[in-house]
C-alpha cells in the first residue's frame, strides 16, 4: 500500500467510524468534508484575528499545500462519495440527490460541493441550460431557519449581471432549497492557486473597481454580503466579475453587519492579488504592509479598507482614493 492509498484508507475508516458514532449521538458528521474545509482558508476566523496579521504566510501556506491537495483530491472525493452512500444507507438527516434525479424540470448532473449549510449541485433543463441547485441541510434549517433564507431574500432584490438570478424555490418530502442561475467562468481561488496567475497593478485596480460597484449596489438595498472571498468571485471570459454564495448575507445593522464588513473583505481580497507577484526575500515574517511592494497611497488605501486606519464611510470615498492611486501610477 503506497502513501496515497494509505491516506485514502485512513480517511475511509474515519468516515465509517464517524457514521457509527453518529448512530449513537444521533448527529451526522462528514469527516471528508471537514478535511476539505480544513484545507481552505478560514476567513471568518480572520475577522476576529488581529487586523495586522500577515496574510502572506496564510497565502503561502495555501500555495504550498496545493500540490498535496491536488494529489489527494481524487481520493478525498472518492471517500466523500463513499461517506454519502453509507450515511444515506443508515438514514442520514439529508437525502442527497443522485445523478439524473429530477427537480421539476431540472435534472441533476453532478455534486459541485458541500458546506455546513447546504449541498450544491449542477443541473440542466431539457434545453441543456445549466443551473445551480442548492439543497439546504435539514439540521441547519432547524437551528437557523431565519438566517438560511437571507440568500433568497437578497437575490430576489438584486437584478444585475454581478449576481446570480434567483430562479425558484423547491420543496418535497425529503428536501428543500432553491434553483439559481449558473454563471460560467473561473473562481479567483482557481486563478490564483491553480493557474498561479500574477496580477499587475492595472488589473488589481480594475478588479477593485468592480468589487466597489458590487457592494455599492448591495448596500443600496441595505444588504451586506459578508463573504467576499476568492472562492466567491467569478471572472467571466469578458473579464467581468460576478459575486456568488449569499449564504452569509444579512440585512445591514449598526453592530456587526455594516458596510465596513464588506470593505474589510475587499481589502483582504486585494491583498491576495498583490501577493501574486510577491517574491519572498527574507525568512522573517512581516505584516503585509511591510512585506509587499506598495506605494504609500496603496498602503493607506488598504489599511483603511481593513480598518487598521480610519475606515472609509462610503464607496464614493473609496472610489475617489482609488482614482488618485490609479492616476499617480
Catalytically annotated residues: 227
In three-state secondary structure terms, 100 is: coil
- Name the residue among 224, 229, 228, 240 with its Cα closest to residue 160: 240
Residue 222 C-beta-side C-alpha neighbours within 13 Å? 5
Beta strands (DSSP E) in the chain are 102-103, 106-114, 118-124, 130-136, 166-171, 176-181, 186-187, 223-224, 233-235, 241-243, 250-251
DSSP code, position 277: G
- Name the residue among 94, 114, 110, 108 with its Cα closest to residue 32: 114
Q: Is the dihedral of CA 49, 51, 53, 55 positive or negative?
A: positive
In three-state secondary structure terms, 234 is: strand
Instruction: Decide: 134 and 177 in contact? Cβ < 8 Å.
Output: yes
Rounded Cα distance, 134 and 114, in Å: 9
Amino acid at each position: 500500500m503506497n502513501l496515497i492509498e494509505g491516506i485514502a484508507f485512513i480517511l475511509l475508516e474515519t468516515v465509517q467510524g464517524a457514521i457509527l458514532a453518529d448512530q449513537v449521538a444521533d448527529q451526522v458528521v462528514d469527516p471528508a468534508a471537514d478535511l476539505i474545509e480544513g484545507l481552505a482558508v478560514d476567513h471568518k476566523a480572520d475577522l476576529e484575528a488581529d487586523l495586522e496579521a500577515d496574510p502572506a504566510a496564510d497565502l503561502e501556506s495555501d500555495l504550498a499545500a496545493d500540490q498535496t491537495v491536488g494529489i489527494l483530491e481524487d481520493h478525498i472525493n472518492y471517500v466523500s462519495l463513499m461517506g454519502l452512500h453509507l450515511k444515506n444507507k443508515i438514514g442520514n438527516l439529508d437525502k442527497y440527490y443522485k445523478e439524473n434525479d429530477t427537480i421539476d424540470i431540472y435534472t441533476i448532473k453532478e455534486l459541485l460541493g458541500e458546506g455546513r449549510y447546504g449541498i450544491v449541485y449542477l443541473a440542466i433543463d431539457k434545453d441543456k441550460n445549466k443551473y445551480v441547485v442548492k439543497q439546504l441541510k435539514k439540521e441547519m434549517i432547524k437551528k437557523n431557519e431565519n438566517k438560511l433564507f437571507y440568500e433568497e431574500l437578497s437575490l430576489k432584490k438584486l437584478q444585475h449581471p454581478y449576481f446570480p438570478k434567483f430562479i425558484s424555490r423547491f420543496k418535497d418530502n425529503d428536501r428543500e432549497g432553491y434553483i439559481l442561475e449558473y454563471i460560467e467562468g473561473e473562481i479567483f481561488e482557481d486563478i490564483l492557486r491553480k493557474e498561479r496567475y500574477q496580477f499587475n497593478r492595472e488589473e488589481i485596480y480594475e478588479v477593485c473597481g468592480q468589487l466597489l460597484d458590487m457592494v455599492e449596489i448591495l448596500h443600496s438595498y441595505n444588504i451586506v454580503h459578508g463573504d467576499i472571498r476568492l472562492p466567491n468571485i467569478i471572472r467571466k471570459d469578458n473579464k467581468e466579475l460576478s459575486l456568488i454564495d449569499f449564504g452569509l448575507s444579512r440585512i445591514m445593522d449598526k453592530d456587526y453587519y455594516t458596510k465596513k464588513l464588506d470593505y474589510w473583505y475587499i481589502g483582504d481580497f486585494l491583498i491576495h492579488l498583490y501577493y501574486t507577484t510577491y517574491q519572498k526575500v527574507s525568512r522573517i515574517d512581516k505584516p503585509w504592509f511591510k512585506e509587499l511592494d506598495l506605494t504609500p497611497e496603496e498602503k493607506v488605501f488598504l489599511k483603511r479598507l481593513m480598518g487598521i486606519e480610519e475606515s472609509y464611510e462610503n464607496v464614493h470615498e473609496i472610489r475617489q482614493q482609488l482614482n488618485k492611486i490609479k492616476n499617480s501610477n
